[in-house]
Structure 1
Amino acid sequence: MLIWNLLFLFTPKYGDLSRYQKRIILSCLDFLVSTFSIFLAFTILYNIGHTLELFALFLPLITGYIVFKVVIFQLFGLYRPVLKYTDLSFLSTISKSVLFTSVIGVFLINLFADRFISESVIIIDGLISIVAVTALRLTIRSVIKSLTILESDSTEKQKLVIYGAGSAGYQLSQSLEQNPEYRLLAFVDDNPEMQGRVLQDVPIYSPHYLESLYKEESFQTIIFAIPNLTIPRRKEIVEHLKALPVQFKTIPTFGELLSNQASLSQIRNINITELLGREEITPYQSLLRVNITDKAVLVTGAGGSIGSEICRQIAQLQPKCLVLFELNELALYTIDMELREQNLNVPIYPYLGNITDKGHFESILKLHRIETIYHAAAYKHVPLVEMNPSIGVYNNVAGTLITARSAIDCGVKNFVLISTDKAVRPTNVMGASKRVAELLIQALAAQNNIGTIFAIVRFGNVLNSSGSVIPRFRKQISEGKAITLTHKDVTRYFISIPEAVSLVIQAGAMAKGGEIFLLDMGNPVRIYDLAVKMIELNGLIPEKDIPINIVGLRPGEKLYEELLIDKNNSNNTQHPQIFYGNEPMLSWEMLETNLENLLYEAKEKNSEEVVKLLKILVPEFNHPLKEVLVS
């Protein structure tokens, strides 16, 4: 240890040397090793005295041969790899270089010294050179590693465990080896044949040993190094290990690796969405392309959580053109730039505008001869619409009516309304406004002699959408604040944004006219349990490190969301996760008068009348008038 400390104190740091200086040093060391190698080859064939005589007699020839060997090392690229990170891949380069110089060496002996020196000297020298030059590099790498560790001993290292001792785990351990901030304690693997063995001088344990290992030497992080780990298995592992106060991280999935979105060394926190999601069914490509490929497509609300993902997926399906329609300037700029940077060879046209501006909207439909519309623009945040009922209703209802009528007038072939589970027996203004939007689409679709096929797609909460609980919880945890929850027993259905959008596009392709398609949302999630899992994934203890405060249900908020799919009131489609419901509807004649009155009162900001008319149009709407505010 004393020797290492002296080396550390009096040797210039390896990282401080320039690349040129490192090459010069390594070349000089190769020269010395090559000199030792040829000398040893002579002494093996001849005695030491005769070896010295031959060296004195043929010193210029031997020196030239050694210099030539180092030059060949340079020409063959032996000095290109970064020695600190290299593995045994340089052995091939060394072997080729030595073979080449040995051939030249035999030629030189036959030319100048065939009566004095045997060709066997060159053969023995070649074998010794391969071993010695390889050993030199491995020794230097080991010394650099030891000095790096010594240099970083003053800093506290993060101890971690890799879950998965396969090829991904091995590659990850090699990456971590170069990072002085981490110390790999162990691998764990489900395969009994791997348990008890050693990888990279690190032991491999059973997952059941982790709690004992933590008691022996506490670690901070478990990294999942299994790219094809299924969601159910990941849930099972995290649930089994939740008692450990550690962070859970993961390497990218196979999909991310294959699409070059990430590399194996990019470690990230496990997202709660990866535990809530489910194994997605492969999309039906034929359905995805029906209304998009080689067609002019427009998306309203193109900058929102759902709208932007619709745009991403549409852009991958080779539309004739993609029109982005959005009220928010920053949101429109962001999605426009994102799509353009992908160089997908799809014409993209961004438009700022309000869906209630009929003239502006129709001019865009006519200019681009739009064939398919995905109507995602809406005010969707329950508390905000509850506080601004007139504005919310006018935007959601008038906006849908104007875009739908414009679609009919401009000859648009397909129109898909994005709706919500909150439209089912609504208890808030937002949900009721979306149900009215559904009713007017149903009524328009039932009219004769229209060329537009209308469809409605209804689904629940999407993971990580703007304003949803997950980003809010994540922010509160990162800031060390208490998580605020409205009720301990609140449950919600969740679906990932990409899966929801894929199902929306496929559902729209199956429309005949006026159907309400329902997406299978899986099982409901208790939001309190969700908060607890998010805290545990960050290596913290619920209620101790991060409190959970129950603040009470907000106006219009449900304790339980309605089940979207009632088997007695829904029908199967060709897709196992898409159904269509048998929902009550009103004819346009029955709907028109109340709808006109609703929009008039909303425009006049008469919120009490707006709620009364919503109750007439949607009899199942359960909402106390006293909670209506001003707008």
Structure 2
Amino acid sequence: MKLFHNIKSTIYEGDNSMNISNIRYIPRLLVLVIDTVLLLVSLLSSSYIISKLSPESVLNLGNLYKGVLIVGVNVFFMIVFRTYAGIIRHSTFVDLLKIFLSNFCAFIVLYAVKIFVFVYYHEILFLPSLLFIYFAITFTVLTLFRICVKEVYHIAKENEINTAKKRILILGIGQEAVALATAVGENAHNPYEIVGFITQRKDSKRAKLLSKKIYSKHQLENHDKDYLKADGVLLDGAKIPKKELSEWVNLFLEKGLLVLKASSVEKYGSNENIRIRNLQIEDLLNRKPIVIKNEAVEERHHHKSVLITGGAGSIGSEIVRQVSCFKPSKVVILDQSESPLYEIELELKETFPDINFEFILGDISNYDRLRTIFEQNEFSMVYHAAAYKHVPLMEENPHEAIRVNIKGTKNLAILSSEYKVNRFVMISTDKAVNPTNVMGASKRTAELFVQALQEKDGNTTKFITTRFGNVLGSNGSVIPHFKKQIEKGGPVTITHPDIVRYFMTIPEACELVLQAGTMGQGGEIYVFDMGEPVKILNLAKRMIKLSGLVPDEDIKIVFTGLRPGEKLYEELLSDGTKTLPTHHEKIMRSKDPSMRFTDINKFVEEIINIAETEGKIEVVRMLKKIVKEFKSNNSEFEILDK
């Protein structure tokens, strides 16, 4: 009925133009009726051929009941094999196989009936040649019917007038590329039109795929995008190695082509659900993830009570998600930010309804509040992700860096040791290495305190530190900042043309945290193989191009100068520091110099008192006394280094 409803709506309510590609499918009963009519046509055609070959044999058709018998048996097996059940425009080899099997079974039955009648009644019901010709014509006609409907549908869809559609190429000519092109092409509502394929191979110049031209990489390198008559390229990034993907994207951007990424057809299982979006810079910076055997990590968390500070932040919340997968007995999430804590509460209760969560709004510098939390829970693991990390803000507010990054860490570490927590994992930063700012120096002080507490008499807790570089998509990181600037039309602001940074993904960083918590024996500082550093200027230009815009034309790039405390190059290891390998090739153990607990504890108590009573110059002066390698850069505190 939907077919007739569409036709009626078009005639009486529409614009008198019937869009065939918008008709969902022909009703199944109508397909069976059409197939039956085609059987009758095939029978009449067979009879005509036989009559021409042997005029006397036409009498063998005899009465009408013989024709009804042939068609009836054929229809019966068509119903048995449900040859009418598939959507015709999506007909496949399986549908043709069903037609063949239904015809073959009908032939066998009719031939058996013919022999039975001849043996018992000595009558020739119909000639064998008639059955052979009939079933050959029937199979051909039914197959052609489906092919014609399929082609008419595609032609009608391709001829739809839609000037807004972007003309795109598919990267690759393999099975995945064909599936992707088919999925995009069969969705009449998407704003893209497939005009061809592009491949590394050079032997496909004259070949076509899905009736579309195949271009080689060599052709693109030697021509502009007008030669390809395309606006962009669609790819499935998950199927392409990162190095090869980067090379392709560089070429596409150089030629001014929009680069699009599609979701996996297998993932969604439906052409209607395939999603296409602009390729993001994260897709290119994503490195090969760490592969961790989760047995040890699972054992460390399964049916255990876990505390995660800063649990509403970008790193902390991902640690919560990963830990929750191991079915802990309880997860306590502590954060001082009200709205993000509420948001993560809603998410986790929906995603992990069987996990016992407790969401605590609190400040890690409040020792009495923390003691109550430790008294009420028997924590096996503490993940300390709470910290102030914004370099310019901490340069302006060093008192807060001391209060949260140093005092807060001391509170948590002391209580973890007192309440016999099995493992304490602190998340530090590469800015703690040869620090040039207050934030980095405060984190280095926290590292020294945690390391020293490991050796304190009576301590049984294993204190472990991990150092990270910049994390893609984390709060305050450069990529979300650039995205907002590009969306607003620019300018994109960069502090210095030569500034470089290391990058890693949030899941990658958190896997390192979990692994460190499992493999550490106490007192270690783990650093991660961050790969090659990325020049921020190149990063910004690439992001602008991926948005389909031209750097310095559509979006201006402005250099604002280094911010207070900022340096051009981040380091993961201190000068002269040695590293030791671990059982994972991407994770190393840093051999940083340490302090005795009595010394660092005295320093920490002193700087906390100064932060409560003195001005920021005195606070930073004391911080430089603790972290002797702390040399301020582009900051008012440079006078203290002289």
Give the counterpart letter for 2:244 in structure 1.
Answer: R
Instruction: Give the distance between the partners of 1:142 and 1:262, measured in 2 at CA.
Output: 18
Conserved? CA contact 1:415–1:453, under 8 Å: yes
**Which sits farther off after the overlay, 414-423 or 533-542?**
533-542
- Alignment partner of 1:499 is 2:508: yes
The 5-angstrom pairing of residues 54-203 of structure 1 reads 58-63=63-68, 65-66=70-71, 69-70=74-75, 72-106=77-111, 114-150=123-159, 152-180=160-188, 181-192=191-202, 194=204, 196-203=206-213
Give the counterpart letter for 2:566 in structure 1.
Answer: E
CA 35–263 in structure 1, closer or farther in 2 if over 3 Å, else same: closer
Instruction: Give the distance between the partners of 1:349 and 1:506, measured in 2 at CA.
Output: 24
Conserved? CA contact 1:462–1:497, under 8 Å: yes
Partner in structure 1 of residue 398 of structure 2: 389
Residues 402-459 of structure 1: per-residue CA shift (max 9 Å, x gap): 1111111211010011000111222222212212211221221221111111111112
The 5-angstrom pairing of residues 1-40 of structure 1 reads 12-14=18-20, 22-40=27-45
Q: Is the partner of 1:291 in helix, strand or coil?
A: helix
Instruction: Give the distance between the partners of 1:491 and 1:395, measured in 2 at CA.
Output: 28
Q: Is the partner of 1:465 in helix, strand or coil?
A: coil
How much does 1:202 deviate? 2.0
Instruction: Give the distance between the partners of 2:541 and 2:370, measured in 1 at CA.
Output: 46
CA 553–370 in structure 1, closer or farther in 2 if over 3 Å, else same: same
Instruction: Give the distance between the partners of 1:544 and 1:102, measured in 2 at CA.
Output: 72
How much does 1:235 deviate? 1.9
Residues 277-328 of structure 1: per-residue CA shift (max 9 Å, x gap): 4334522446544633453322211221111222232233454443333333
Q: Is the partner of 2:91 in helix, strand or coil?
A: coil
Normalized against structure 2, the TM-score is what? 0.86
Instruction: Give the distance between the partners of 1:99 and 1:214, measured in 2 at CA.
Output: 52
Partner in structure 2 of residue 215 of structure 1: 226
Partner in structure 2 of residue 249 of structure 1: 260
CA 362–17 in structure 1, closer or farther in 2 if over 3 Å, else same: same
- Alignment partner of 1:545 is 2:550: no
How much does 1:65 deviate? 4.8
Instruction: Give the distance between the partners of 1:556 and 1:543, measured in 2 at CA.
Output: 28
Residues 568-598 of structure 1: per-residue CA shift (max 9 Å, x gap): 5333333222222232333332233442243
CA 32–457 in structure 1, closer or farther in 2 if over 3 Å, else same: same
Give the counterpart letter for 1:126 in structure 2.
Answer: F
Instruction: Give the distance between the partners of 2:42 and 2:622, measured in 1 at CA.
Output: 97
The 5-angstrom pairing of residues 580-599 of structure 1 reads 580-599=589-608
Give the counterpart letter for 1:178 in structure 2.
Answer: E
Instruction: Give the distance between the partners of 1:542 and 1:78, measured in 2 at CA.
Output: 57
Q: Pick the aligned partner of 1:475 from 484, 502, 506.
A: 484
Conserved? CA contact 1:164–1:225, under 8 Å: no
Partner in structure 1 of residue 6 of structure 2: none
CA 66–366 in structure 1, closer or farther in 2 if over 3 Å, else same: farther
Q: Is the partner of 2:541 in helix, strand or coil?
A: helix
CA 568–369 in structure 1, closer or farther in 2 if over 3 Å, else same: closer
Residues 529-576 of structure 1: per-residue CA shift (max 9 Å, x gap): 111111222332211222111122222222222343657533333322
Instruction: Give the distance between the partners of 1:336 and 1:155, measured in 2 at CA.
Output: 46
Instruction: Give the distance between the partners of 1:103 and 1:362, measured in 2 at CA.
Output: 85
CA 390–186 in structure 1, closer or farther in 2 if over 3 Å, else same: same
CA 261–130 in structure 1, closer or farther in 2 if over 3 Å, else same: closer
Instruction: Give the distance between the partners of 1:526 and 1:262, measured in 2 at CA.
Output: 39
Conserved? CA contact 1:362–1:410, under 8 Å: no
Instruction: Give the distance between the partners of 2:571 and 2:96, measured in 1 at CA.
Output: 66
Instruction: Tell me how large the CA RMSD over aligned residues is.
Output: 3.4
Instruction: Give the distance between the partners of 2:460 and 2:268, measured in 1 at CA.
Output: 40
Residues 36-71 of structure 1: per-residue CA shift (max 9 Å, x gap): 11111222222498788776x533553465366446
How much does 1:528 deviate? 0.3
Residues 328-372 of structure 1: per-residue CA shift (max 9 Å, x gap): 344334444544545596544443333233344344444442111
**Which sits farther off after the overlay, 259-268 or 121-130?**
259-268
- Alignment partner of 1:231 is 2:239: no
Instruction: Give the distance between the partners of 1:567 and 1:523, measured in 2 at CA.
Output: 21
CA 593–268 in structure 1, closer or farther in 2 if over 3 Å, else same: same
**Which sits farther off after the overlay, 466-475 or 575-584?**
575-584
- Alignment partner of 1:205 is 2:247: no
Give the counterpart letter for 1:248 in structure 2.
Answer: V
How much does 1:16 deviate? 6.2
**Structure 1: gaps of 5 or more residues:** 1-6
Q: Is the partner of 1:144 in helix, strand or coil?
A: helix
Residues 469-517 of structure 1: per-residue CA shift (max 9 Å, x gap): 1112123223432211111111111122222222222233332322222
CA 13–602 in structure 1, closer or farther in 2 if over 3 Å, else same: same
Instruction: Give the distance between the partners of 2:543 and 2:96, measured in 1 at CA.
Output: 48
**Structure 2: gaps of 5 or more residues:** 1-10
Instruction: Give the distance between the partners of 2:318 and 2:205, measured in 1 at CA.
Output: 43
Give the counterpart letter for 2:593 in structure 1.
Answer: P
Instruction: Give the distance between the partners of 2:181 and 2:459, measured in 1 at CA.
Output: 63
Give the counterpart letter for 1:219 in structure 2.
Answer: A
Instruction: Give the distance between the partners of 1:589 and 1:470, measured in 2 at CA.
Output: 42
Instruction: Give the distance between the partners of 1:564 and 1:514, measured in 2 at CA.
Output: 16
Instruction: Give the distance between the partners of 2:182 and 2:24, measured in 1 at CA.
Output: 24
Give the counterpart letter for 1:521 in structure 2.
Answer: M
**Which sits farther off after the overlay, 552-561 or 336-345?**
336-345
Residues 190-219 of structure 1: per-residue CA shift (max 9 Å, x gap): 244555432212232321112426232442
Q: Pick the aligned partner of 2:459 from 450, 453, 465.
A: 450
Conserved? CA contact 1:257–1:263, under 8 Å: no
How much does 1:165 deviate? 0.8
Conserved? CA contact 2:232–2:257, under 8 Å: yes
CA 301–64 in structure 1, closer or farther in 2 if over 3 Å, else same: farther
Instruction: Give the distance between the partners of 2:161 and 2:143, measured in 1 at CA.
Output: 29
Partner in structure 2 of residue 3 of structure 1: none
Instruction: Give the distance between the partners of 2:372 and 2:68, measured in 1 at CA.
Output: 85
Q: Is the partner of 1:484 in helix, strand or coil?
A: strand
CA 366–124 in structure 1, closer or farther in 2 if over 3 Å, else same: farther
Instruction: Give the distance between the partners of 1:618 and 1:283, measured in 2 at CA.
Output: 34
Instruction: Give the distance between the partners of 1:247 and 1:544, measured in 2 at CA.
Output: 17
Q: Is the partner of 2:459 in helix, strand or coil?
A: coil
Instruction: Give the distance between the partners of 2:46 and 2:406, measured in 1 at CA.
Output: 92
Conserved? CA contact 1:168–1:264, under 8 Å: no
Instruction: Give the distance between the partners of 2:501 and 2:349, measured in 1 at CA.
Output: 35
Give the counterpart letter for 2:180 in structure 1.
Answer: L
Instruction: Give the distance between the partners of 1:434 and 1:380, measured in 2 at CA.
Output: 9
Instruction: Give the distance between the partners of 1:475 and 1:38, measured in 2 at CA.
Output: 69
Taking every aligned residue pair, what percent have the same amino acid on both sides? Answer: 32
Residues 140-183 of structure 1: per-residue CA shift (max 9 Å, x gap): 12112222223x22433311112211110111111122134333
